[in-house]
Copies of this chain bind each other. A is one copy, B any other.
């Protein structure tokens, strides 16, 4: 078990801790869309364009395990399952909001940066 002391702390800083929860190609986007309210699996998949079933389910399971997201199974057929944010998750998404704003504001710059990276490969 990892020792938690000042000599070898688990996390370098608060940001480091947060990154462990939100790392994964799709997690930030999943959380972003769940911020709109409880969402069915299929609807979430349509919102998070490009994600595969395998990854969506895997990352939802991890978010559930971490206490960020909760899963509601209505026990119907066809299956109807909702995913929603816990209070813990709502606070996390709130902390992510400035990143949304920054990205909105700088989409042009970011697209240009991506093009530069592509060219220099």
Name A residues whose Cβ lies closer than 8 Å to a Cβ of B.
1, 4, 10-21, 23, 25, 28-29, 32, 47-49, 62, 65-67, 88, 91-92, 94-107, 109-111, 113-117, 120
CB distance from A21 to the nearest CB of B (A): 6
Given A13-B103, A65-B120, A18–B110 Cβ distance below 8 Å? yes
Copies of this protein, total: 2
Q: Which of B47, B101, B111 is the one whose CB lies under 8 Å from A10?
A: B111
Complex alpha-carbon distance, A113 and B27, angstroms? 15
Q: Which of B18, B25, B101, B107 contacts A95 (CB 8 A)?
A: B101
Chain B proximity of A34: nearest CB distance (Å): 12
